[in-house]
Structures are given as C-alpha cells and as structure tokens.
Amino acid sequence: DAGVIQSPRHEVTEMGQEVTLRCKPISGHNSLFWYRQTMMRGLELLIYFNNNVPIDDSGMPEDRFSAKMPNASFSTLKIQPSEPRDSAVYFCASSFAGTVNTEAFFGQGTRLTVV
Amino acid sequence: QQQVKQSPQSLIVQKGGIPIINCAYENTAFDYFPWYQQFPGKGPALLIAIRPDVSEKKEGRFTISFNKSAKQFSLHIMDSQPGDSATYFCAANQAGTALIFGKGTTLSVSS
C-alpha cells in the first residue's frame, strides 16, 4: 500500500480564497483523522471520522472549516474563507479502530500558506 | 480538556548520550501510549507504544517507561546517534478515540 496520500503537498493562497485539502486513507482502515501542526500549538486534532461518520469535530476552530468523508477512500478539509492565521501543516492520518487501539499512519502533510 | 503535557521542548545531547523525554496525562481512561518520530518535511511515524498493563517496553535502542499511578511515561534513547535528530511526540488515547499529542520535543544529537 502507498500509505496515506495527501494532496496538494504545498498550497499558497490569498486571504479570502477557498482552500480544499484532500486525503486518501490506507485501504481497510475505518478511522480517519485531520490534524493541524504549528510551532506554537503542536499537533492539534481537528476532526475524526469512524466508518465515514464524523465522531468528534470539537477541534475545528471555526465555521470557516468543514470536513467531509463521502466514502471510505476519500476525505476533504475545506477552509472558506481562508485567513493568514490558518497557515500551518495539515496532516491526515488513518487507522483501523477496533476494541483495541492500533497504529495511526500519517500522510506527508499539506503545507498551507495564506498570504 | 484532555491534555498530554510533554517536556522538555528541546534537547541537545552528544552522540552516545541518553536523552529522556517525559510526558504526563490526565485522563485515567487512556489505555494506549505511543511515541511518534517526525523528520523535517515528513509526517509523524510510530516509533514505539505501550499499554498500561506493563511498566516498561524496549525496542532496540528505544525504551518507554510507564508509571500508571503517577500518570506519567517517558522515552529513553540509548546510545543516541545523529540520525536520531528529529521531533518526538508522545500521545495517548483510549479505544475508539483520536490520539491526543503532546507539543513535541526537538532532539538534536551532535557528533
């Protein structure tokens, strides 16, 4: 398996524009996570899905952020409108969640710069 | 809010030294405690993990020590090498929930 695939790897956009980040989880995994990484706040959980259903979105900072998982092999994180403070590295991760925890595999991340 | 507190923020050791990174958690329901390693430009990758039924786990040069009563766990890197220079994150969760990460420790191993 190619692992968790994120696109794009880098995104530079102007303030106010819509940004869509994409993620393809590892086949067979039933949990998907979106994290944001900054120097100040480290790795913050934004939202996670189990069996394509959002379970906890309490980490989504504002209504400008939304995430979807229309099927088991694809998820998007959208920011509309984007602001300079949204600049960060966004990671998608997936795992197989059962009665015990298993390893979460991370993608390479999308580095977002909002100017 | 559930938190995992990690220290120190940064660490510099000489080759062969034994860096130690510490983490403390609050939620007694947590039952899985992994450490992730991240190199620049890459996503975090699992290094080693422990469950609360054991007090220590060793994999190669990496050891986790776990103190359930104190709600603390730590990572020791034996005979550290320049290639170990990276950012290390502790994390915790319980089955069915997302990992909560510490803020990370940037380790630099000088040759």
Q: Which tokens go with A35?
A: 């994290």
pLDDT, tens digit (0-9, with 9 covering 90-100), for A28-48: 999 999 999 999 899 999 999
More confident residue, A91 or A41: A91
- Tell whether the model's pLDDT for residue B45 goes beyond 70: yes
Contact present, B26 and B71 (Cβ < 8 Å):
yes
B45 contacts A101? CB cut-off 8 A: no
- Which residues is A11 bridged to in the sheet? A112
- pLDDT band of residue A106 (cuts 50, 70, 90) is very high
pLDDT, tens digit (0-9, with 9 covering 90-100), for A1-37: 689 999 999 999 999 999 999 999 999 999 999 999 9
Q: How many CB atoms lie within 10 A of CB B13?
A: 17
A109 contacts B89? CB cut-off 8 A: no
Maximal C-alpha separation, chain A:
44
Contacts of A106 in chain B (CB under 8 A): 36, 43-45
Q: Measure A19 CA to nearest chain B CA, in Å.
A: 21
Q: What is the pLDDT of residue A1?
A: 66
Rounded distance, CA B65 to CA B35, Å? 12
- pLDDT band of residue A101 (cuts 50, 70, 90) is confident
- Span A46-53, average pLDDT: 95
B98 contacts A43? CB cut-off 8 A: no
pLDDT, tens digit (0-9, with 9 covering 90-100), for B58-96: 999 999 999 999 999 999 999 999 999 999 999 999 888
Contacts of A33 in chain B (CB under 8 A): 98-99
- Span A97-112, average pLDDT: 88
Contacts of B44 in chain A (CB under 8 A): 43, 91, 106
| Preferred mutation among A43, A45, A53, A89 to probe B, highest tally of B CBs within 10 A | A43
Rounded distance, CA B49 to CA A56, Å? 24
Please report the sign of the dihedral spanned by the C-alpha atoms of residue A62, residue A66, residue A67, residue A70: positive
- Tell whether the model's pLDDT for residue B107 goes beyond 70: yes
Contacts of B48 in chain A (CB under 8 A): none
Burial class (CB in 10 A: 0-12, 13-18, 19+), A49: buried
A26: left (phi over 0), alpha (psi -120 to 50) or beta: beta
Q: How many CB atoms lie within 10 A of CB B91?
A: 24
User: Which residue reads 């259903």 in tokens?
Assistant: A53
